[in-house]
Amino acid sequence: MAAFSFDKLVIVGVGLIGGSLARALRERGNTGGDTGGAREVVGVGRTAAATARACELGVIDGAAALDDDRALAAALAGADIVLLAAPVAQTRPLLERIAPFLDAATVITDAGSTKADVVAAARSALGARIGQFVPGHPIAGREASGVEAALPDLYVDRNVVLCPLPENAPAAVARIEDMWRAAGATVHEMAPPQHDRVLASVSHLPHVLAFAYVEQILQSRDAALRFAFASGGFRDFTRIAASSPEMWRDICIANRDALLEEIDSYTAVLAALRTAIETGDAAALEAVFTRSRAARADWQLRAAQPAAANGEPSK
């Protein structure tokens, strides 16, 4: 007999992120282990067709369409947790749509890559019920997307950041923590601005830099020649420029303030390196390159370990 952490999880948006959580919690619950899981996972999609594939694959136990009042009410009734796993720009309309059907005991969380804007959207949509919303961000992904790409171990040893609000009851935060731990993740807490600054730095900025780099080659008059002689370093450096344009457009706008700060500080560092190159300041160049290489090597060594071992805030 399996020890379930909770009875009913509703996932709004059953793609890679939502589907992987569904698989993790259902398959763990069914193994009878003591790590917990969900007794029932219900998927919610824009239409019935949107969740059909997830049902076929057995990723979810049941489904409801957002545009069907009765089905949506039935799906949300008695839910322990609702996870929003849709683009961050949809946070407010989605919460407005489900709010009338929410039980008072249900805890809502999300999987968005930005947090300050998500919190603002949630406050606006939920009003006095904002205490039911615990903002979150699982830092995991794959190049592939969609429910077909969902993996039960996507979150194993990965970091999940929660950004609890002053209005959250400790028990509500604990329920979301338990859910992610049951999926194998390490859970950390940060304030929303800290989360957004850290993610702007280690994720959003490099995406912008990689997109800008490929764009700069495209704007050159001998772009085809350049691409023809691009090699292994180019391949790794530009891999993230193959990411979803719509998703990154939304992230850039959602996390604008933090991202602009990172772009400005990066531009200043690049300008300093430019000056060192122009003046032939070999010592300055070597100093920067040596520091960078050492930091990258150190990161590589630590990357195999969970972040909790690295002295950052965790819970």
Residues numbered 246 to 265 that lie near its own copies (CB under 8 A) are: 246, 248-250, 252-253, 256, 259-260, 262-265
How many C-beta atoms surround the C-beta of residue 246 within 10 A?
10
Q: Which residues between 179 and 198 bind its own copies (CB under 8 A)?
A: 194, 197-198
By CB under 8 A, name the one of 33, 47, 169, 302 that touches its own copies: 302
Nearer to its own copies, 169 or 269 (CB): 269
- Tell me the C-alpha distance between 160 and 300, whole Å: 20
Task: Give strand pairing partners of 107.
Answer: 81
Among 7, 96, 297, 315, binds its own copies (CB under 8 A): 297
Smaller CB distance to its own copies: residue 99 or 214?
214
Minimum distance from CB of 38 to its own copies (Å)?
26
Give 103's contacts (C-beta < 8 A, 6+ positions apart). Answer: 76, 77, 78, 79
For residues 97 and 107, what is the distance between their CA atoms, to the nearest angstrom? 16
Q: Nearer Cβ to its own copies, position 3 or 253? A: 253
Residues 150-179 that bind its own copies (CB under 8 A): 158-159, 161
Pairing of strands 159-162, 136-139: antiparallel
* Residue of the chain from 71, 280, 304, 315 that contacts its own copies (CB under 8 A): 280
Query: Nearest approach, Cβ of 119 to its own copies (angstroms)?
Result: 19
Pairwise CA distance, residues 127 & 122, whole Å = 8
Return all residues near 27 (Cβ < 8 A) that are at least 6 apart. 37, 152
Q: Which of residues 121-150 bind its own copies (CB under 8 A)?
A: 139-141
Binding-residue total with its own copies (CB under 8 A): 99
